[in-house]
Amino acid sequence: MRQVFTQIPCYAGDVSGAASALYELGGMVVIHDPSGCNSTFNTHDETRWADRESLIFISGLNDMDAIVGNDEKFVDDVVEAAQNLQPRFIALCNSPIPYIIGTDFEGLSEMIEDQTGVPVFYIPTNGLHDYVDGASRAFEAVAKVLVADSDAVKRPRSVNILGLTPLDFDVSGSAASLERKLIEVGWQIQSNWALDCDPDQIRRAGGAAVNLVVSSTGWRAAKVLQDRFGTPAVAGCPVGAFSESVFEALECSARDAQIRLPYRDQIQSSKATEGQIAVIGEAVQAGSIAAALTATQEKPVRVIVPTEGADALVPNASMRIKGEAEIKASLDGARIVVADPLYAPLAPKGAQQIPLHHFAFSGRIGFNQAVNLFDDQAFSNLEKEIEDGNT
């Protein structure tokens, strides 16, 4: 049974993904849930909770309110909290019980917006999906609701960074390192979605010349921004030797308004499924790491994507894997496994494991070993470790 796990944990859930994406934007996120979602999010899935304020709450749904459909309590509680705390917007997230009983969140959003005068939108999570799904839906909603029409005048050589959350980029300073790299090659940061970010910049995101999608969580927003403002997107993380390909793609897309996924092109051309080096992770990040390794090691690298997200972002459809047994099988023959340390039980016997901490997977465990992928020296060290294991 694919859904049975005894050796590895699951990824952070969709509700955590949504809360993480919206964390710094000055809104209020309300998860309609009995208990546990907020604690799980802020304990295991969020690095900022103790140090940076964000208004993220649960509704405390109980059985009787669910059975009799007492939505008034939910509305009243949200309105009361909003009137007291004055958020910029309100985002409502669904969870398994309201999902199964068919709660009308669109209707509730309208009721709350009428009573508060604050923009309210619904993130269609249900607790049954992983963080990529939740974060990407949250960013999609931001692109639809919070980005202003009036700021659609294009600013030359400006870029929105989409899909930046601590769930995928957990080391403090990751956002600054990425922004610095882009600025060094002549780009201006129009907005950063949304880590160490300025919410006002996100409001003006329509003015960017191009979108850089650094994780699958930013893909849905990129599609909305393309529809609304005609902004093209490039998916990829500028890491190691792959950075140049990303920068070149940004230049090209800003010129011809075409979507580009340079890591996908590079990996697909290299017999990737036969590679003795395997990278496990979220599609864009793992694909970019693999592309960088492919360039320097001149050997095929296989990418295994256990997370959700758009199929278009996965380097090879056969590499989208779900379930413990399938992941284990997909690693067959690999000599080096670059992955979160909690994947160790699934690695082939004798394979060398290169730890690449992924907060969305192992959370606080091993957090002090995490690598800032956008720091050239740190990435170079990671490559060296892999190279040593490959010789």
Partner 1 sequence: MLKRVGAGADFSKASMPISKAQFPNPFDAGLEFNTPEHSHWNIVHIGMQLPESRQIYICADNCMRGVVMTADEMDAGDRFGMVLLEEKDLLDSDLTDVTLQGIIGCIEKWKTRPKAVLVFPVCLHHFVGTDIDQVYEVLEAKYPDIFWLRCWMDPIMQKRGTTPDERERLEMTRPLYDLPPDCTQVNLIGPDTPAGSVQTNDFANLLERGGIRLNTMSACPDFETYRKTGAAAAEIFVSPFAKLAAEGLGKRLNRPVFNLNVGWRDAEIDASLDALAKDYSWQLSEWRASKRKAAGEAVQFAKARIGQMPIAIDAVGVFRPLSLARFLIESDFNVVRIYADGFLPEEQADFEWLQTHAPSLVLCSTLRPEMRRWPNPKEKVLAIGPRAAWFEKSTYFVQMVANGGLWGYSGQRTLMQRMCDALDHPKEAKPVIAQKGWGCTCVL
Report the nearest approach of partner 1 to the CB of residue 249 (Å): 33
Q: Does 365 bind partner 1 (CB under 8 A)?
A: yes
- Residues 144-173 binding partner 1 (CB under 8 A) are none
> Which residue's CB is nearer to partner 1, number 84 or number 377?
84
The residue range among 215-223, 313-321, 326-334, 363-371 that interacts with partner 1, by the rule CB under 8 A, is: 363-371
> Which residue's CB is nearer to partner 1, number 129 or number 223?
129
Beta-bridged to residue 234, according to DSSP, are 212, 260
Binds partner 1 by CB under 8 A, chosen from 91, 304, 342, 371? 342
Which residue reads 């927003």 in tokens? 221
> Which residue's CB is nearer to partner 1, number 137 or number 264?
137
> Which residue's CB is nearer to partner 1, number 102 or number 156?
102
Q: Does 270 bind partner 1 (CB under 8 A)?
A: no
Binds partner 1 by CB under 8 A, chosen from 69, 70, 72, 101? 101
Q: Does 70 bind partner 1 (CB under 8 A)?
A: no
The answer to whether the beta carbons of residues 336 and 288 sit under 8 Å apart is no
Q: How many residues bind partner 1 (CB under 8 A)?
A: 66
Q: Does 282 bind partner 1 (CB under 8 A)?
A: no
Q: Does 326 bind partner 1 (CB under 8 A)?
A: no
Q: Does 50 bind partner 1 (CB under 8 A)?
A: yes
> Which residue's CB is nearer to partner 1, number 10 or number 145?
10
Of residues 51, 53, 45, 43, the one with CA closest to residue 19: 45
Report the nearest approach of partner 1 to the CB of residue 354 (Å): 20
Question: Which secondary structure element, helix H or strand E, spans residue 277, and what is its range?
Answer: strand 277-280
Question: Which secondary structure element, helix H or strand E, spans residue 41, and what is its range?
Answer: helix 37-44
Which residue reads 């007291």 in tokens? 84
| DSSP letter for each residue of 194-258 | SSS--HHHHHTGGG-SEEEE-SGGGHHHHHHHHHHH---EEE----GGGHHHHHHHHHHHHHH--
**Rounded to an integer, what distance in angstroms lies between the CA atom of residue 221 and that of residue 139?**
5
**Rounded to an integer, what distance in angstroms lies between the CA atom of residue 25 and that of residue 317?**
34
Q: Does 81 bind partner 1 (CB under 8 A)?
A: yes
Of residues 336, 333, 343, the one with CA closest to residue 305: 343
Contact string (CB under 8 A) for partner 1, positions 218-257, x = contact: ----------------------------------------
Question: Which secondary structure element, helix H or strand E, spans residue 181, and what is its range?
Answer: helix 174-184
Contact string (CB under 8 A) for partner 1, positions 105-134, x = contact: --------------------xxxxxx----
Q: Count the Cβ atoms, other than its own, within 10 Å of residue 272.
A: 24
Say which residues have a Cβ less than 8 Å from residue 146's Cβ, sequence separation at least 6.
25, 89, 119, 199, 202, 203
CB-count exposure of residue 178 (10 Å: 0-12, 13-18, 19+): buried
Binds partner 1 by CB under 8 A, chosen from 20, 59, 211, 245? 59
Q: What are phi and psi of 93, to 5 degrees?
A: -115, 140
Q: Does 36 bind partner 1 (CB under 8 A)?
A: yes
The residue range among 57-65, 113-121, 289-297, 372-380 that interacts with partner 1, by the rule CB under 8 A, is: 57-65
Q: Does 43 bind partner 1 (CB under 8 A)?
A: yes
Binds partner 1 by CB under 8 A, chosen from 21, 55, 189, 319? 55
> Which residue's CB is nearer to partner 1, number 75 or number 378?
75
Say which residues have a Cβ less than 8 Å from residue 170's Cβ, sequence separation at least 6.
47, 357, 358, 359, 367, 370
Report the nearest approach of partner 1 to the CB of residue 43 (Å): 5
**Rounded to an integer, what distance in angstroms lies between the CA atom of residue 122 and that of residue 31?**
10
Binds partner 1 by CB under 8 A, chosen from 20, 21, 22, 39? 39
The binding site for partner 1 (CB under 8 A) comprises 1, 3-7, 9-16, 26, 30, 34-40, 42-45, 49-55, 57-64, 66, 77-78, 80-81, 84-86, 95-97, 100-101, 125-130, 342, 362-365
